[in-house]
Chains A and B, each alone.
Chain A
Amino acid sequence: MGKQTILYKNYNEYAKIIDFHGWDLPIQFTSILGEVNSVRSDVGMFDVSHMGRIMCEGEAVIDFLNYLLTGELNKLSINQASYMFLCDSNSGIIDDLVAYKISDYKIMIVCNAGNKDDVVNVLKTHRSSNLKYGSLIINDFTNNSGMIAVQGPNSPMILNKLFESKFENIKRFNFASILKDNHEVIISRTGYTGEVGYEIITNLELSSSIWDKLINLNVTPCGLGSRDVLRIEAGLSLHGNEITSDINPYEAELSRFVNNDKQSVYSRSWNNIINTATKKMLIGFIINGRGIPRSNNSIIYNGESIGYVTSGTFSPTLGTPIGLGFINRNIGQGSSIQVDIRGKKIAAIITKIPFLRR
């Protein structure tokens, strides 16, 4: 048995539990495709309490994180969040994360469950590398809090019912810190589905009661299976698939999240990367046939293997299988390729990412 989030006891009897980076989490509550449809057409919710939550606090916190993270934290307003990477000195992606500017002295990081220990280690190592960072507080509060993602076109209405105030006005990647029943709650307009949505971070007890209230508001509980389909449809990278410590943001077509106008751990390698021809590039493709592309399937162009699939699924929204993968040359959108799915070469077309735009 793995670790369980505070919401484990709130799952219904139909939840199918799998191991996810040491956590017992639901892959589905009813059906993956049904849950995808709920999020695309109505509203669904995910227990994302397993994700790493780290509070970094202290006078030099902006300088401290700016050296490690690819975003520019000085440019963020208070109550603004931003997607960025923690890169190593080769610009390899240790993790992708969201940094929340709570104040000029307080930044919250939300990172992947499977990389949280690495992220915390890098932060702590950097803290001990320089005396001026010695007094910074790095608090991993993952196990003392819960996190619920409410996603879908009806999520603003649900948030208003839940907190009895207008939250649809929060802009994308902004957040509000409020008090509910004397507990601090962070509500951010963020998510991993490509839909309008919110993520709610608060203490254990309140997280549990919020989940139950959302159930009473008929929000569909959704598992990791639908979360993966939704993020692939939205063209969002997953660490371990599209991005790893062997892939840099340039190769993953994510350079826009890298700021290079500052001194950082990755600047030297990053300058080399953007000035040399890339060896691989991320593409999206739509399968023109039957068969779901799976990780590591070969991508073929003119009879030659030119890359591999990193993620694939059946997209219920498009009614066809789709995938993401790396290829070793620049062939444009609309090009015909094939994907080797268990020995069968299935036709596919290179397509723009995201597969659907909301």
Chain B
Amino acid sequence: MVENEIRFSKEHEWAKLEGDGVFIVGVTDFAQEQMGDVVYVEIDDIGTPCKQFGKVGEIESVKAVSDLYTPVGGQIVETNDELFDNPELVNNDPLTNGWMLKIKVSDINEISNLMTEQEYKDYIKNL
């Protein structure tokens, strides 16, 4: 896997390799579309260890609360604090400015449990 390569989970999160074993994680456009207007994002603290597909936070929209799961396991090394005051970034820009957190992966082989962009596109087409 090379830098800027992106993978997707069935729970509609994406993980993009930033470099040095660190992945940027966020939710997909499909996910934000389903949730509607996001008003609060709560993410676990920096330093928290996490398992692949484990819960790392909550996203609250006007309609409902959704759990945020991480597509990769490891340790949280950064969170997007911008979302605290500007949660609408998740709706407006889910794949860039609306990113959620960065994770230093512990087992790079777990990436094979994720979908490529094309596989994810096919996956949501059938939902």
Enumerate chain A interface residues (CB-CB to B < 8 A). Answer: 27-28, 31-34, 225, 229, 290-292, 294, 313-314, 321, 342
Contacts and interface: CB of A to CB of B under 8 A. Distances in A.
Nearest to B41: A290
Given A292-B60, A313-B62, A33 B37 contact: yes
Given A291-B40, A292-B39, A225 B60 contact: no
A225 B63 CA distance: 8
For chain B, the bracket of interface size reads 10 to 19
Interface in B78-106: 91
Contacts of B108: none
A303 B63 CA distance: 29
Nearest to B33: A16
Contact of A28 (B36, B60, B65): B36
A292 B63 CA distance: 10
A12 to B, nearest CB: 15
Contact of A32 (B37, B40, B60, B65): B37
A34 B39 CA distance: 13
Contacts of A28: 36
Interface in B5-42: 36-37, 39-40, 42
A164 to B, nearest CB: 37
A259 to B, nearest CB: 37
B62 A314 contact: yes
Given A32-B63, A33-B62, A292-B60, A225 B36 contact: yes
A113 to B, nearest CB: 20
14 contacts: A31-B36, A31-B91, A32-B36, A32-B62, A32-B63, A33-B37, A34-B37, A229-B62, A290-B42, A291-B40, A292-B39, A314-B37, A314-B39, A314-B62
Interface string B54-71: 000000101101000000
Contacts of B40: 290-292
A222 to B, nearest CB: 13
A36 to B, nearest CB: 9
Contacts of A31: 36-37, 91
Contacts of B91: 31
Nearest to A226: B62
Contacts of A321: 39
Contact of A342 (B36, B39, B62, B65): B65
